[in-house]
Amino acid sequence: MEIIVTGAAGFVGQALAAALLSDPKVSRLILTDVVEPSLPAQHSNSKIETRCIKADLTSQETCQSLFTPSLSVVYLLHGLMSGASEANLDLGLKVNIDSMRLVLDVLRSANPGVKVVFPSSCAVFGPSDGVVTETTMPLPGSSYGAQKHITEVLLNDYSRKGLLDGRILRLPTIIVRPGTPTGAASSFCSGIIREPLKGERSILPVAPDFEIWVCSTRTLIKNLMYAREIPKEKFPSNSRIVNLPGMTVTSGQMLEALKNVAGDETVQLVEEKRDPMIEKLVYSWPARFDTALAERLGFSANGTLKQILDEYIEDYGEGSKNQEA
């Protein structure tokens, strides 16, 4: 099985690459991004044929060279994140819409019917007082959400016509992301845990009762891997869109979980400092989702907040200041 992952230099791309390099079904893996992706360190000696390529996916020539008939599965992870898309509309349109359409059009010509896994976002919806299902009308409150929704509609239509075999996954916010803050408006959800665990200060830009739909890195990667295995006949006849499992938590509950794992001193490193720009974006996202379809299809559910933090510390080796001493 030959697989390509775009956006492979990012956190999710690297975590997915590591999982794919442990999969005996994979014979060849292509990792591509605007910078040359690195090979996950623990898999540098993998026997799977792997290519790491710096590529501009707004170039038709580049796309035609990468998206060939030999591919079995395509993971479209590249994109401009929520905060950055809001700040730079033209770049968001270029990356999140124009590039995606170019890739899909090259694929439907070069490799009709190939499986395409597209991670979308709960940002395609506006605020909701109820539970969101796959049939809830999207009404994005951000440019990022609008751009994700446009690609959803296009890939769903190409799948309806049999041109491609899309799997459109609306992801919860992922916690905890390692490394440095990203351009995502929800970046603080990881920052209020990640930085204090390193003994560093962090800002909470929303109220403690702010609610958000989240899942762990392990759950996300497991579900991305599983998405390609689902027979297309299992999806509803008119839609390839799935709300992935997650859990509704408040920012205060995340801090309480941090306290339980790392103690009061660690939580005191978080300062509440409201940011109207971030609040405008993240409060436009719904926090409760019906995941009955995902459960019927066999996607995995999430664990508790404490389990998420324990997994993060185990996987990325970052404990509290006291634990590191």
Cis amide leading into 176 (omega within 30): yes
- Cα 162–165–166 angle (5° rounding)? 120
Out of 75, 144, 158, 312, the active site residue is 144
State the Cα–Cα distance between residues 136 and 285, nearest whole angstrom.
13
Closest of 152, 169, 286 to residue 219, by C-alpha: 169
Q: SS3 of 48, please? A: coil
DSSP character at residue 132: B
Strand partners, 173: 214
Could you count the other beta carbons within 10 Å of the beta carbon of residue 200? Answer: 11
The answer to whether 316 is a known catalytic residue is: no
Cβ pair 282, 186 in contact under 8 A: yes
Single out the residue of 176, 147, 174 nearest to residue 245, CA to CA.
174
What is the C-alpha to C-alpha distance for residues 158 and 315, in angstroms, rounded to an integer?
37
Cα separation, 187 vs 176, whole angstroms:
9
CA distance 225 to 75: 10
Length of the chain: 325
* Active site (catalytic) residues: 144
